[in-house]
Amino acid sequence: MRRSTDRLIALQFLAVAVPIAFVLLAQMAADARRAAALEQSRPLRTLANEARANYRTFTNGAADAVDTGALGRQSAEALNTTAALLAQLAERGEAAALGDTPGQVADLAAQVASGATLERLMALRREIARADHETRAIDESFERRDAAVVEDAVDSARVQKQEVSLALLISGVLTVAFVLATRRRLRRQLEADAASERRRRAELETVSIRFRVATRAARAGVYEMDESGGTVWWSDTMNELYGVSARNFQPTLSGWLELIHPADRDGARAAMTAAMRERKPLRTQYRAVRPDGSIAHLESVAAVVGDPAGEGVRMVGIDLDVTERVAAQRREDLLQQQLRDASRQAGMADVATSVLHNVGNVLNSVNVSANLVADSLKRSRAAGLTRVVALLEEHQGDLGSFVAHDARGKVLPVYLAELSRHLSADNSNALQELDALRGNIDHIKDIVTMQQRYAKLGGAAEPIDVGRLVEESLRINASAFERHAIEVVRRFADVPQITVDKHKVLQILVNLLRNAKDACDAAGERERRVTLSVGRCATGVRVAVADNGVGIAAEHMSRIFTHGFTTKKTGHGFGLHSGALAAREMGGVLRVESPGLGCGATFVVELPLGPPGNAHA
């Protein structure tokens, strides 16, 4: 707007100044020409005036000489001077105006100089009279020239006046035209600016209304604070967030901090001070204690910007009421804990079922061993030994004669030898069965001990051997793998120990092995194989459980760890979800790879060497 106005004013000035400038330049040129003409004629007129004066002196003297008969000395000198002046006029270009007067005057001067007689002077009277007439003609010529110059000056002044009037008229017309055009353009510009200003105000008002509605809907308060903290501006929503009234509370940094929970006050002050000092964005969370005693969880997000006055910086930000979000997060944490507990209980139930099955298998072996020992005892020839003892006691007094002469006594040594061999064999068989029975009982103890370890709450990180832990998870699922004829391939590399929650890792591995077994079963009668791999990875140790089962459809890959998602008819949908959460809690990750249906799947657990937050090699 200002630039357009300046441009129009400049054009208006040019419209007035240019014609006047042309007129003035033309006038100056005409004045210069007239001045040059006058300057050129001034010496000629001076010479002509002197010549006329001298010539009049001569003619007057010549007239007197005709009467007196003698020419005065002054007349002779005047005649000579006139001849010289007329010669100069001729040299200056006035020969046309002088005619032959210079020659006549020069001739007359020569005759006077040679001593002309009075008679000769009388004879020249007519020429003198004619010369006087020509002198008057010269004077008239200069007068006409002066009159022409004056007339030219008058004409020039008249033309100049007309030109100035015309220029002023043109300038006036142009000025009026430009003024009218300028007024129209200014009016249009002002109307456009006014409309733009109205639109801008309307847009600002709309934005302001939307901003107020948005901040109220989001329960977000806006604040602005200078570097010293002495000047703080709050929006109405800020007062609502902190439960104060604009009439009773004047926002300052110290007053603001007084509204923050004492446990969070120092942290909030330090965060604000650091953001101001380091000119960096602010993002912090704290609790506010309202006058009614209620607690509000607030998240403050701000930017540090330069002060409009160029002095210092200002912090501009918003406070968000995240009380409901914090409560929801707590509820989610509680539900996650309940989910983990339920997953653990479900895992414990699955493991208990596996344990009971394994114990049942071992008990079958125990029963077989016990029956064999019982049958061995029932078939034992120890009763024959009892009869031998009774027979010997019967013949205790004549034992030697009995053995030597009695038919029964004679076969007694052979019988005892045979009985000894049978008893030794029975004893050996019984000992073998008892050893097997003891081994089966120890196996039952190991299974029960493993179940007891798995059933512990856990939570404490401890150094573990990854390979041994994988083997332990295999032993828990060994019976199921044998029953379903699943080949187990081990590919264990040397890896360092890791410090994690052993029971969480065991829970993950047992669940992955059980899923691998189910995937192989669902694949049909083809060869079933599960490959276990242990190795290093960028973050620590990597354990992979790969099967050649049914695989995973591409559309299920992104949902495989989602709570409640399962592809099994009897699945509960939180085994893999809880496993992923457990891996994340330990600072690791659980992920899956599958080329597609019918191509098997590989679940990979990556765990750090130590708990999250610790530095490890």
Where in the sequence is the domain holding 94, given as residue range(s)?
A: 2-186
Number of domains in the chain: 4
**Co-location of 544 and 478 in the same domain:** yes
> Do residues 527 and 432 both lie within one domain?
no
Q: How many Å apart are CA 172 and CA 498, to the nearest integer?
A: 99
pLDDT in the model for residue 263:
93
- In the chain, the amino acid numbered 328 is A
Euclidean distance between CA atoms 45 and 142, whole angstroms: 7
Q: Are residues 440 and 468 in the same domain?
A: no
Environment class of 75 (CB within 10 Å of its CB; exposed 0-12, middle 13-18, buried 19+) = buried
Instruction: Classify residue 208: in a domain, yes or no.
Output: no
Dist CA 515 CA 600 (whole Å)? 12
Measuring CA to CA, how many Å separate 93 from each of 45, 46, 86, 87, 357?
13, 15, 11, 10, 151
**Among 395, 426, 452, residue at a domain's last position:** 452
For residues 126 and 55, membership in a common domain is answered with yes
Q: Is residue 334 part of a domain?
A: no
CB burial of residue 247 (10 Å; 0-12, 13-18, 19+): exposed
CA 549, CA 267: separation in Å to the nearest integer?
Answer: 54
Give the full edge-to-edge strand order of the sheet including 220-226: 232-234, 220-226, 313-321, 295-306, 282-289
Same domain, residue pair 166 and 95: yes
Task: Identify whether the C-beta of residue 89 lies closer than 8 Å to the C-beta of residue 51.
Answer: yes
- The residue among 200, 171, 194, 246 whose CA lies nearest residue 11 is 171
- The verdict on 403 and 274 lying in the same domain is no
Tally of CB atoms within 10 A around 68 = 11
Residue 328 covered by a domain: no
How far apart are the C-alpha atoms of 312 and 440, rounded to whole Å? 82
* 239 plus 380 within the same structural domain: no
> Quick one: 101 and 157 in the same domain?
yes
Whether residues 10 and 155 fall in one domain: yes
Report the CATH number that the domain containing residue 593 is assigned in CATH: 3.30.565.10
C-beta separation of 607 from 586 below 8 A: yes
What is d(CA 293, CA 268) in angstroms, rounded to the nearest whole number?
A: 20
- Within 99-124, where are the H helices? 101-113, 118-123
CA of 368: how far to CAs of 361, 428, 429, 442, 443, in Å? 11, 17, 13, 16, 15
Per-residue pLDDT of 184-193, as tens digits, reads: 777 787 788 8
Kindly calculate the radius of gyration of the chain based on its CA atoms and give it in whole angstroms: 68
Give per-residue pLDDT as tens, 482-537: 888 889 999 999 999 999 888 788 878 988 998 898 888 887 767 889 999 999 99
Burial of 426 (0-12, 13-18, 19+ CB in 10 A): middle
Helix axes 502-522, 407-455, angle to 10 degrees: 110
**What integer pLDDT is reported at residue 237 of this predicted model?**
84
Q: Is residue 175 left, alpha or beta, with left meaning phi > 0 and alpha meaning psi from -120 to 50?
A: alpha
In a domain, 617, yes or no: no
Strand partners, 537: none
At residue 60's C-alpha, the angle toward residues 58 and 62, to 5°, is 65
- Spell out the SS3 assignment of 506-553: HHHHHHHHHHHHHHHHHCCCCCCEEEEEEEECCCEEEEEEEECCCCCC
Contact in structure between 592 and 599 (CB atoms under 8 Å) = no
246 and 168 housed in the same domain: no
CB distance 178 to 11 below 8 Å: yes
Residue 305's domain is classified under what CATH number?
3.30.450.20
Instruction: State the residue for tokens 């004679």.
Output: 410
- Quick check: is 86 in a domain? yes
> Is the residue at 526 inside a domain?
yes
> Do 282 and 173 lie in a common domain?
no
**Structural domain includes residue 555:** yes
pLDDT more than 90, % of the chain: 11
User: Residue 370 has what pLDDT?
Assistant: 76
pLDDT at 35: 64
Polymer length in residues for the chain: 617
| Separation in Å, CA 347 to CA 89, 451, 577 | 142, 11, 13
User: Of all residues in the chain, what percent are helix, strand and coil, respectively (each to 5)?
Assistant: 65, 15, 20
pLDDT of residue 529: 92
One domain, residues 165 and 68:
yes
**Residue stretches of the chain with pLDDT short of 50:** 66, 69-70, 95, 457, 615-617
Contact yes or no for 433/376 (Cβ under 8 A): yes
Asked if 530 and 489 touch (Cβ cutoff 8 Å), the reply is: yes
Q: How far apart are CA 233 and CA 426, in angstroms?
A: 100
Q: Is residue 197 part of a domain?
A: no
* Model confidence, pTM: 0.39
Alpha-carbon distance of 339 to 347, in angstroms, equals 12
